[in-house]
């Protein structure tokens, strides 16, 4: 595997987490205006992406592979808990 392939593999590993984090940040800004009023969209996106990435890494560590439904569930839990902690616990 050359370095470009490694970059593509890592990008494709973390892309679902960052894509869902973008959608969740947008949904939070639209649906929970009071709780997320003081935060920028980019901040919510960054925290959600980091939480989702940790969920993907946890799934890869626990399950030994990526792309499983349990792995995507851990990714969603990571994004949701992180965004909940950032907005509602302030």
Looking at the structure of the chain, the number of domains it has is 1
pLDDT per position as a tens digit, 50-71 = 999 999 999 999 999 888 999 9
**Long-range pairs of 67-72 with CB within 8 A, sequence gap ≥ 24:** 72/16
- At residue 18 the predicted structure's pLDDT band, cuts being 50, 70 and 90, is very high
Residue 14 pLDDT exceeds 80: yes
Average of per-residue pLDDT across 22-32:
91
pTM for the model stands at 0.88
Asked whether the predicted pLDDT for residue 73 surpasses 80, the reply is yes
- Segments forming the whole domain that contains residue 63: 3-87
Top pLDDT among 67 and 7 is at 7
- Convert the chain into a string of H (helix), E (strand) and C (coil): CCHHHHHHHHHHHHHHHHHHHHHHHHHHHHHCCCCCCCCCHHHHHHHHHHHHHHHHHHHHHHHCCCCCHHHHHHHHHHHHHHHHHHHCCC
């Amino acid at each position: 595997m050359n370095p470009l392939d490694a970059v593509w593999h890592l990008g494709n590993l973390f892309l679902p987490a960052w894509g869902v984090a973008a959608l969740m940040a947008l949904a939070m800004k639209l649906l929970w205006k009071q709780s997320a009023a003081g935060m920028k969209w980019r901040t919510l996106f960054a925290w959600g992406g980091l939480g989702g990435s940790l969920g993907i890494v946890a799934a890869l560590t626990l399950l030994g592979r990526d792309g499983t439904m349990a792995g995507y569930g851990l990714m969603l839990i990571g994004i949701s808990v992180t965004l909940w902690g950032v907005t509602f616990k302030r």
